[in-house]
Structure formats: structure tokens, C-alpha cells
Amino acid sequence: MTLTLHIVGTGAIGSLLAAGAERASHPYSIYSRHSSPDYVKVMSDDEQIVRVTALGSPLPRLTGNDVLVVPVKAYQVESALLQWRDLLSERTPVVLMHNGMGGAELARTLIPAQPLFVATTSHGALKERAELVRHTGAGETVLGFAPHYKVSNAQRNQVFDVFSSCLPPVRWHSNMQAALWQKLAVNAVINPLTALFDIPNGALLENRYQPQVSALCEETARVMTASGVTSTAPELINAVQEVARRTASNFSSMHQDVKHGRRTEIDAISGYIVQQAK
């Protein structure tokens, strides 16, 4: 059975997911945070444009034949879950997709009975204007159960199939805690440094930034290891460099947030590491 995809918000990754669903003719809806319908154009790297229409309120009631994906900023996860929790059946899977940590812990208190997954993607997407998202680079999506959650294999396969149709390629990860820490480490270096120095991701490969890159990786590896996910600074430096190379001309999401005077995800990224260290 194919699950209908429901996407919260018209952020860069949510819009990319909707465009993938539109292209694959996969049943989906995307919901705008505004009360009236909205549209977003998503431009792929070959300049093809897919237009998706985002629905406003009222939000629908979901069943076990639906999946709710929450690709919002870390600090919007709580309000999104509160907005949707009374509309979910106990069989509706929920997939969290945000930078930084803390979402799964929040979900455990707000929607404890829900089958819960987490996903991260290395596809690059940039929201250039309210109605225009650009797919800036191909990547892969990593999907798994949220830490301490386990659901049936049938439901796991259904959620996997949705992502395989809409945001491929997808890799199933049996230890998402490790995958999320790995992504967190990359974000904890690239996001604040690119925002502070006002540079694209690739500039971080220059020699002059290496002292900060190494110091952040050293500190993060120690906290990561103490939290039960063994890591070393050289491993994290390699991971950072790989992402900086692959997304060289992109501006990170935190760079964009600072540039546009928006709230950043620093608390869910660097703040989480500091909190775990304590």
C-alpha cells in the first residue's frame, strides 16, 4: 500500500520533497503555515521548474494510510507537533527532518504513541524567495527509526518507499543516533563559521579556517564519544571537508538565516553539544 505524503511547511527541504512527489506522481499534500493556499516553484539543477500548491487550514485528519513529514526548523518542531497531534491516528507514522537535535525527545513527550522516524538529507536546497526553491545539489537521504522507537517492518517499508519515490536515493540506517550526531558535527562546524565569516561552504577548506575547524571537531568528537557515539576529530574533519567540497558554492542555512535577520538553529546545533557536554 502506498502512503499519502503530508508535508508540514514550505521550507526548502519540504518543497523539494513535494516537487519529488509531484514528479513521481506520488500522492501528497504540502501545508503552508499561512491560512490561505500558497504555491512554491522548485527549480532543479537542470533548470526545470515544478510548481507545487500548498494548502492552508483547516488541516485534514490523517490515518494509517498517511505519513506526516515534519521538515521544519528545529525551533518550529514543537508548534508543528502541537498543531498536528490531535489529527493523527495512532497508526500514522511521523518523520522528523531537521538540523540539530532535540526533536525526537520532544516528540517522545508530545506524541509518545506515534510510530516515529527521523531522516536527514544531504540534498542541497535553497529558498531563494518565498515562492522559489532551488535544488542546489544532489545528495542522499538517510532514514531510520527515531532512537528508542521501533515499528513493524511493513510500516518501515512503506515509509522507506515514500522517500525512495520522492527524495532518492534513500539509505536505511539502523542507528540513527549515530547518523544524527554525524550530521550534527558537520552542522556545528559549517553553519556557525559560514555565518560568522559570511562565506560559502567551500571557503571553509581554506587554510586560514583550519584552526577553528579542528578545534570544533576536537571538542565535538569528545562530547560525541562521551554520549556513546564513538568518534575522533580526524573523522569529523573528513566529514566536514567532504560536505564543504560537495556543497562548495552553497550558503549554509545558518548563513541564510543570519543574512535575512531570521532566528537561527544555533541552540539545537552548538547549544545541544554544550548541553550534552555539561
- The site for ligand PAF (CB under 6 A) is made up of 99, 186-187, 190-191, 201, 243, 247, 250, 252-253
Instruction: Name the residue nearer to ligand PAF (CB basis): 15 or 187.
Output: 187
Q: Quote the crossing angle between the two packed helices 176-197 and 233-246, to the nearest 10°.
A: 60
- 53 has which bridge partners? 39
The whole-angstrom separation of Cα 108 and Cα 111 is 6
Instruction: Name the residue nearer to ligand PAF (CB basis): 4 or 241.
Output: 241
| 183 catalytic per annotation | yes
Please state the closest distance from residue 13 (CB atom) to ligand PAF, in A. Answer: 9
Encode burial over 23-32: b for 16+ CB neighbours within 10 A, e otherwise.
Answer: eeebebbbbb
Please state the closest distance from residue 59 (CB atom) to ligand PAF, in A. Answer: 27
Instruction: Name the residue nearer to ligand PAF (CB basis): 42 or 111.
Output: 42
Please state the closest distance from residue 53 (CB atom) to ligand PAF, in A. Answer: 26
Which phi and psi angles does 161 have, rounded to 5°?
-65, -40
The whole-angstrom separation of Cα 219 and Cα 46 is 40
Please state the closest distance from residue 51 (CB atom) to ligand PAF, in A. Answer: 24
Instruction: Name the residue nearer to ligand PAF (CB basis): 75 or 108.
Output: 75
Q: Are 5 and 31 in contact (CB under 8 A)?
A: no
Residue with cell 556543497: 247
Degrees, nearest 5: CA angle 32-35-39: 40
Cell of 63: 490515518
Cα 218 to Cα 23, 53, 85, 185, 187: the distances in Å are: 42, 45, 39, 10, 14
Degrees, nearest 5: CA angle 277-263-178: 35
Please state the closest distance from residue 150 (CB atom) to ligand PAF, in A. Answer: 27
Instruction: Name the residue nearer to ligand PAF (CB basis): 88 or 236.
Output: 236
Out of 41, 73, 183, 278, the active site residue is 183
Q: Are 213 and 89 in contact (CB under 8 A)?
A: no
**Alpha-carbon torsion (101, 106, 112, 114), positive or negative:** negative
Please state the closest distance from residue 128 (CB atom) to ligand PAF, in A. Answer: 14
Instruction: Name the residue nearer to ligand PAF (CB basis): 114 or 250.
Output: 250
Active site residues per annotation: 183
